[in-house]
Amino acid sequence: MRVFFLIAMAVVISACQLPNPYKPAPPPKQQPAPGGAPTVPSPPPQQPAPVETYPETEPTPPPQPQKSYELGAASRSLVEQAHAQAATGNYAVAASSIERALRIEPNNPLLWIELGQVRQAEGNYVQAENLGRKGLSLATGDPRAQSSAWRLIADALRGRGRAPEAAEAEARANELATR
């Protein structure tokens, strides 16, 4: 046991005396110049650190493709049915047909706009405006659907006697229609 302890101590002591490869080398000793003044060794030439460059402005994201909402075959058929029903003044049945289409395609903004137009035709301007705003919130990326929603909102506001707000909504609809 004693021999093992002595060997372990010898290994530890010898490891302490090994040069550290991560420690910089000591500076060279200065030799006195022939006149007695010590000379200062010149430092080794250093290369400048590479400088990272960043663009001054952030790159613009690629343009998003425009969406275009369409009605599915079943929804299209129900909307055509609703148009015929509304033409005869049967707004409750027309709204029911569009609500059936909404159960098929609940995230289609065109259906919400259609339902808003039926509500507006029956004189329910508050609900028409709300349905137009619902359609607008779902119509992201489709300027045509957004324009239709803003037009419905403008008509509903006009029906409620809020002409300045209606003009602003109409301007938004016209701006989107030109895209």
Give the confidence band of 177 by pLDDT, cuts at 50, 70, 90.
confident
Residue 129 has a pLDDT of 96
Report pTM: 0.64
Residue 169 has a pLDDT of 94
Q: Is the pLDDT of residue 22 over 60?
A: no
Q: What is the pLDDT of residues 67-109, one digit of tens each?
A: 888 999 999 999 999 999 999 999 999 999 999 999 999 999 9
Residue 7 has a pLDDT of 74
User: Where exactly are the structural domains of the chain?
Assistant: 73-177
As a CATH number, domain 73-177 is 1.25.40.10
**Both tokens assigned to 112:** 């919400």
Distance of CA 23 to the CA centre of its chain: 50
**Burial annotation 72-111 (CB, 10 A radius, 16+ → b, else e):** eeebeebbebbeebbeeeebeebbebbeebbeebeebbbb
Torsion angles phi and psi, residue 32, rounded to 5: -65, 140
